[in-house]
Structure 1
Amino acid sequence: MTTHLTGTRGDWLAARLDLLNEEKELTRRSDELAQRRRDLPWVRIDKAYMFETDEGRAALADLFRGRSQLLIYHFMFGPDYTAGCPSCSSIADGFNGVATHLSNHDVMLWAVSRAPLLKLADYKRRMGWTFPWASSFGSDFNADFNVFFTEAQQQGGGIEYNYRNEAPAPKREPLAGKTVQEWKTQDGEGPVAQVAAMTGTDVATFTRERPGVSAFAIEDGTVYHTYSAYARGLDGLWGMYQWLDRAPLGRNEHGIWWRRHDEYGKH
């Protein structure tokens, strides 16, 4: 027998209507925050960022492809990774089908990563994705938008991510070559080590890359940065969590449970 609170249909309806009022208030508040995002001052981009794409080298302005708005998902896939971050991969599963709709509503959606284009293309093919994905390898783009940090920054406490300064990272034993299962049993390593192992890297290498989303506008050929969000600011873009938040047990998480969509049943 369930240990959860039970009741009559009338009990449920009364509680549901009370919750509905709060959900409506949250929706209204979300609309207000969305307007505040749009009201942020735009910052002109003067640096000449270059990317490698399936269609050749491209400037930031080229990524708009004739639209007036550009959204970039900062996908964690560094040059030393053997595969993309599984968390970013789950998010990408969600926006893969959305990109087409956005492109027909004056918004281009791209993923951008530091890994070379060939590595991105191989992984994209494996995942069956169709959204455009550019390599920023050799560019300052990721560093300037606070989604890539050097080893010196990591060790010296020079990382500012999600608008906060981080303490210097402790040195950790490399994870390269070890399996996720082995690292699940290591005391003190935590979930980051598990995810790092899934990308074929150690914790330090893995966490020099960070996830985020940035928005840009173009007017009269001039590109402007309008918005960026990081860390849990991406929750709303991680589609599976929006569904889990409506499931009876919610997120119900105990460590890293998700995998790339072609890996379930293999671990």
Structure 2
Amino acid sequence: MTVHFPNESPEYRAARADLLQAEIDLRQQIETVAAKRRALPKGGAVPTDYGFSDLLGGRRSMSSLFGDHDTLAIYSLMYGPNATSPCPMCSAFLDGLTGQIGHIQKRMSIAVIAQNSPQRLSELQDQMSWQALPLFSAQDTSYQTDYLGQSPDGDQLPMINIFVRNDDDIRHFWGSEMFYAPSDWHPRHVDALWPLWNLLDLTPSGRGTHMPSLSA
């Protein structure tokens, strides 16, 4: 089926048809990559059942974060102990994710981890209206360095990692390693999950030099 919009020129329709085929090819490539991801062999066993702190100062084991699911996503928020504010890019990403948490949790579990104190994370949750986000402190654990959310020098890094649980066995499944791949652009390692960039990419001016600011 060929579609048309009011008053479009033949030149526009021809160019749009060419673009449509590229979009169809991209859709197929996305499905191909997703199938390759699902077919990954077992990842490495998690070295320890990390003990994270909730915002009330209680301890939560990593295994408990799975709840009733066998899959857990953990996003590392760049908000280290010496930071005066969280990373604006991370914050914009989490702003977009917040409204989807309830839908996500019907299929899998999710947590946001930061290398900061429970008190400061609680204050941040209120400041950013992130009440829906399951937010935890990774202080006093090696999780961030083990799973590339923190460099050996203590720099915070915006990694997302997926873990799977079988009985009492927890293994790493996938991490956003494209963050480390050379690129002519910013890493775009989580762009598929980020409404902001995907919508801007549909416009004539694209992303331009836009950089998100803190929404709070």
TM-score computed with the length of structure 1 as normaliser: 0.70
Aligned to 1:259: 213
Conserved 8 A contact 2:55-2:119: no
Identity among equivalent positions (%) equals: 26
Conserved 8 A contact 1:67-1:108: yes
Aligned to 2:128: 127
Aligned to 2:79: 77
Conserved 8 A contact 1:149-1:209: yes
Query: Within 5 Å, which residues of 2 pair with 1:102-121?
Result: 102-105=104-107, 107-121=108-122
In the alignment, which of 195, 199, 210 is matched to residue 243 of structure 1? 199
Aligned to 1:12: 12
Amino acid across the alignment from 2:17: L
Conserved 8 A contact 1:51-1:136: yes
Task: Give the Cα–Cα distance (whole angstroms) in 1 for the partners of residues 8 and 88 of structure 2.
Answer: 42
Give the deviation of 1:47 after TM superposition.
1.6
Aligned to 1:91: 93
Conserved 8 A contact 2:49-2:61: yes
Give the deviation of 1:8 after TM superposition.
4.7
Kindly provide the CA deviation profile for residues 61-102 of structure 1, in whole angstroms up to 9, marking residues without a partner as x.
111111111111111111111211111000001111111101
In the alignment, which of 164, 167, 172 is matched to residue 220 of structure 1? 167
Task: Give the Cα–Cα distance (whole angstroms) in 2 for the partners of residues 235 and 257 of structure 1.
Answer: 14
Give the deviation of 1:10 after TM superposition.
2.1
Aligned to 1:27: 27
Number of residue pairs aligned between Structure 1 and Structure 2? 198
* Unaligned segments of structure 2, at least 5 residues: 1-6, 180-186
* Unaligned segments of structure 1, at least 5 residues: 1-6, 152-204, 263-267
Query: Within 5 Å, which residues of 2 pair with 1:56-67?
Result: 56-67=58-69
Give the deviation of 1:224 after TM superposition.
1.1
Conserved 8 A contact 1:99-1:108: no
Task: Give the Cα–Cα distance (whole angstroms) in 1 for the partners of residues 120 and 151 of structure 2.
Answer: 20
Aligned to 1:40: 40
Aligned to 2:3: none
- Runs of 4+ aligned residues of structure 1 deviating over 3 Å after TM superposition are none
Aligned to 2:139: 137
Q: CA RMSD in A?
A: 1.7
